[in-house]
Amino acid sequence: MKTGAARVPTFAGEECDMSTWDAGKCPVRDVMDQIAGKWSTLLLQALADKPYRFGELRRLVPDISQRMLTQTLRDLQRDGYIDRKVFPTKPPSVEYSMTPLGLSLFEPLKRVLDWAEANHASVKAARVKFDESELA
């Protein structure tokens, strides 16, 4: 068998040729590669609550650099999850808010985040156990 068309059921139950899982061909990877960023879920979570301005988000997530905040927000905007409104105030202010698409994404995403919070202890325990066995 020479890399012969390995098939794995996709999430929707259909099949997907994983050997063609180049980020552009597989819908799931194409979408997930963006969501799976270090800051994406964090910003989506914040904006799911209410709209925020650039500076507010920067203060909200203390350890994000302005550079990555700018870039992540633009990527999320590009994929249609968030909306960017510029207000022509004295120093122009910019407000970011969720789009309907972003909110619909956040629905299932929130379940994963809920899981993370609920199972944090189990994960930490697994880590300790793993690190101990590695120590040997």
| Chosen from DNA, a second copy, none, partner binding at 98 (C-beta under 5 to 8 Å by type) | none
User: Cα separation of 31 and 29, whole Å?
Assistant: 5
Kindly state the smallest distance separating residue 107's Cβ from DNA, in Å. Answer: 25
User: Cα separation of 68 and 64, whole Å?
Assistant: 7
Closest C-alpha among 85, 74, 2 to residue 43: 74
Please report whether residue 91 would count as binding DNA according to CB under 7 A: yes
Task: Candidates 89, 91, 118, 135: give the one binding a second copy (CB under 8 A).
Answer: 118
Nearer to DNA, 19 or 104 (CB): 19
Please report whether residue 70 would count as binding a second copy according to CB under 8 A: no
Kindly state the smallest distance separating residue 130's Cβ from a second copy, in Å. Answer: 4
Reading phi first (left if > 0) and then psi (alpha if -120 to 50, else beta), residue 5 is in left
User: Cα separation of 104 and 84, whole Å?
Assistant: 18
- Which region among 65-73, 88-96, 102-110 touches a second copy (by CB under 8 A)? 102-110
Please report whether residue 70 would count as binding DNA according to CB under 7 A: yes
